[in-house]
Amino acid sequence: MEKTMFDIIATPLFEGQDIRLGPMDHEKDPVVESKWTHDAHFMRMFELEPARPLSAAILKKQYEKLEKQVEEEKSLYPFTTRAREDDRLIGKALIQWIEWTNGNAFLRLGIGSGEDRRKGYGSQVLRLLLRFAFAELNLYRVTANVQEYNDGAIALLKKFGFVEEVRRRQGLERDGRRWDLLVFGLLNDEWRNQAQA
Amino acid sequence: MRDLFRGDLVCLASEEPETSSKAEILWQPDSEFLRLSDNEAASILSEKKIREFFEKRAENGPKPGSYLFSIRTLKEGKPIGFLGLRVNLIHRDSLVGIGIGDRDFWGKGYSTDAMKLCLGYAFTELNLHRVSLGLHEYNPRALRSYEKAGFRLEGRTRKDLTREGTRFDSFWMGILREEWLQ
């Protein structure tokens, strides 16, 4: 049966199978995220900045700053990712540095606690993020920067058809050695062809 | 000791609000220059706004991790362009941006000379591990100049730029400290 315009816009943008994209909770989320910042493994996968433990109070201020930035710059869409079963916070996802004239933006996502990793949540989050980027923001392409040692992220991006476009040789230093920084890109066309296949 | 700021054709000088705003006002109507030096849509600003921009930057003083220079001819000290180096001190990487606004100095080695000075500064004064840059596919003159200065192509982000209805790639280049030392 052919889809009508009413069916098309009814496709949920924020609901995955086990997870959903949601807003931030200024009271509860900083407490959870503070725990993640004490996990050096997570921080080194999610951040290029040096890992540093942050208090809930500091994170709360950062949330306020982020929301102000969203309002002023109009080039940033932050989401929290939550488990549908109990609405608990499981990660962060972000579309940032949107260049509207060129239709380009950067994606970032992370699953915060070790218990929630390796369950396919990242995949579900990325599927929603891409749909939002291409079918709602109408971007032409998206870009993701990944550390050479971040095997999980590289596998995830490749699974969704991202192409390794740039290798910034020895662009970062961690654990006393240099690592490449990889840039992956996915075009709207490529995403659309896959989604139909 | 090497002279960090004087090359064969150009020298790197401080940004003076008066000189820099005059030069910017002169170059700004050149939309080709704007399209070569930025990803954003070309835009034009009032003289007042341009002056305020440079005055504010001078007032705030040098920002940590941001090194800005005016490119001047060695002989006459004429301002012909700008060079900015943004440094990530944690990973000792950096991103350089360069533009020659005065068309009389295009294609004659002035930009390459300035970039060589920049690399000397980055590796022997800032002690960086690498210098990076990005350029547009439609700027072959820049590509040749950067290759001459020692940069290597590290990849291209596909079709991330639109001009006149056509999609173009961005090129990304880098040079490592050990490559520069050779």
Is residue B181 over pLDDT 90? yes
Residue A10, pLDDT score: 87
**Cβ contacts of residue B91 below 8 Å, gap of 6+?**
A48, A171, A172, A173, B129
- Tell me the percentage of chain B whose pLDDT exceeds 90: 93
> Which ranges of A4-135 does DSSP label H, i.e. alpha helix?
5-10, 29-37, 40-46, 56-73, 121-131
Q: Which residues of A touch B163 (CB under 8 A)?
A: none
Is residue A21 over pLDDT 70? yes
Residue B76, pLDDT score: 95
Q: Which residues of A touch B41 (CB under 8 A)?
A: 101
Q: Which CATH class is domain A21-196?
A: alpha beta
Report the pLDDT averaged over residues A49-65.
96
Is residue A197 over pLDDT 70? no
* C-alpha closest to that of B154 among B163, B145, B146: B146
Phi, psi of B98 (to 5 degrees): -140, 145
Is residue B6 over pLDDT 80? yes
Query: From the list A166, A170, A178, which residue is nearest B157 (CB)?
Result: A166
ipTM: 0.91
DSSP, collapsed to helix, strand or coil, labels residue A86 as coil
What contacts 24+ positions apart, CB below 8 Å, involve A156-159? A156/A122, A156/A123, A156/A126, A157/A126, A157/A184, A157/A186, A159/A123
Task: Decide if B65 touches A, using CB distance below 8 A.
Answer: no
Query: From the list A48, A101, A141, which residue is nearest B40 (CB)?
Result: A101
Residue B2, pLDDT score: 78
- Tell me the percentage of chain A whose pLDDT exceeds 70: 98
Q: Which CATH class is domain B10-181?
A: alpha beta
Task: Decide if B4 touches A, using CB distance below 8 A.
Answer: no
DSSP, collapsed to helix, strand or coil, labels residue A118 as coil
Would residue B180 be called left, alpha or beta, if left means φ above 0 and alpha means ψ between -120 and 50 degrees?
alpha
Phi, psi of B85 (to 5 degrees): -120, 120
Report the pLDDT averaged over residues A123-143.
97
Q: What is the pLDDT of residues B138-152, one digit of tens each?
A: 999 999 999 999 999
Q: What is the pLDDT of residues A158-190, one digit of tens each?
A: 999 999 999 999 999 999 999 999 999 999 999
Q: Which residues of B touch A185 (CB under 8 A)?
A: 157-158, 160
